[in-house]
């Protein structure tokens, strides 16, 4: 199915698969969807997640220690797709696990599991020809990261080759919560939209890296199509038990489209 954001702003929720357990990840993802998340990003555990901050790094370490594999993540994706067929579902990974698995095999299995698309955090569009061919072959949406430092030529290539949505990084650096949105985010979204040019369909733009509360989401609604939330959810899971995490995440997701005062009640 095509990824869509029926509410503005849309919500993209990231979870590290296998943290705290595979069963909990499945329950958390379904709870997040029921609470209003439009898209679930299933993070593939990786031993060297250099693009992530300490919160997600710790989650990756825990999931790797439990020997969570890419095959396990695809199995969870299949379960989520069966349980919530209308939700958007993205495999969020570094390139190394895909290469170890086999690119063509990964493309086949991700499509068979019901994923809508793939975001490879350390894949740049200039080096993505083989990857793009495989995504196109199995009708998976390649989602690329765009950064404030990306030159216009790269943004134009990202606009040309992306499907589903474009993930705009709100600031330079690693993932993690922040106190306020930077002006870089709005400027980057404007540059991305300009990069589509005339006559080319414009994809939704989701802003991530540091989005952690309803105030951030309200600010993003003024210029972006969706908010991508990762570290705030992963940290909440870290503080919860496997049994309580789905409910805690659902409450958090519901609160993201409410005034800050509602979260305190």
Cβ of 49: how many Cβ atoms within 10 Å? 23
**Does the active-site annotation cover 238?**
no
Distance between CA atoms of residues 34 and 18, nearest Å: 20
Distance between CA atoms of residues 213 and 263, nearest Å: 9
Cβ of 27: how many Cβ atoms within 10 Å? 18
Cβ of 160: how many Cβ atoms within 10 Å? 12
Exactly one of 6, 23, 48, 52 is catalytic; name it. Answer: 52
Exactly one of 38, 41, 109, 235 is catalytic; name it. Answer: 41
**Does the active-site annotation cover 41?**
yes
Distance between CA atoms of residues 98 and 116, nearest Å: 16
206, β-bridge pairs = 167, 226
Strands of 205-208's sheet, edge to edge? 141-143, 117-120, 88-93, 39-43, 10-16, 226-229, 205-208, 166-169, 145-146
Would you please indicate which residues are annotated as catalytic (active-site) residues?
Answer: 41, 52
């Amino acid at each position: 199915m095509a990824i869509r954001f029926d509410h503005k702003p849309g919500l993209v929720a990231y979870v590290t698969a296998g943290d705290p357990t595979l069963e909990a990840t499945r329950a958390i993802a379904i709870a997040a969807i029921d609470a209003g998340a439009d898209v679930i990003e299933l993070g593939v555990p990786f031993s060297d997640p250099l693009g992530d901050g300490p919160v997600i790094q710790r989650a990756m370490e825990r999931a790797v220690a439990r020997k969570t594999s890419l095959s396990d993540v695809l199995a969870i994706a299949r379960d989520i797709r069966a349980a919530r067929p209308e939700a958007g579902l993205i495999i969020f990974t570094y390139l190394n696990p895909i290469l170890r698995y086999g690119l063509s095999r990964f493309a086949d299995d991700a499509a068979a599991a019901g994923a809508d698309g793939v975001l490879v955090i350390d894949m740049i569009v200039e080096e993505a020809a083989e990857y793009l061919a495989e995504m196109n072959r199995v009708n998976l949406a390649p989602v690329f990261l765009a950064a404030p430092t990306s030159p216009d030529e790269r943004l134009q290539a990202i606009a040309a080759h992306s499907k589903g949505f474009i993930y705009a990084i709100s600031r330079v650096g690693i993932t993690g919560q922040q106190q306020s949105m930077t002006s870089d985010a709005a400027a980057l979204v404007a540059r991305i939209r300009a990069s589509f040019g005339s006559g080319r369909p414009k994809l939704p733009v989701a802003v991530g890296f540091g989005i952690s509360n309803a105030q951030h989401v309200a600010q993003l609604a003024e210029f972006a199509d969706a908010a991508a939330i990762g570290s705030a959810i992963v940290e909440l899971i870290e503080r919860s038990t496997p049994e309580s995490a789905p409910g805690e995440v659902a409450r958090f997701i519901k609160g993201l489209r409410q005034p800050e005062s509602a979260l305190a009640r």
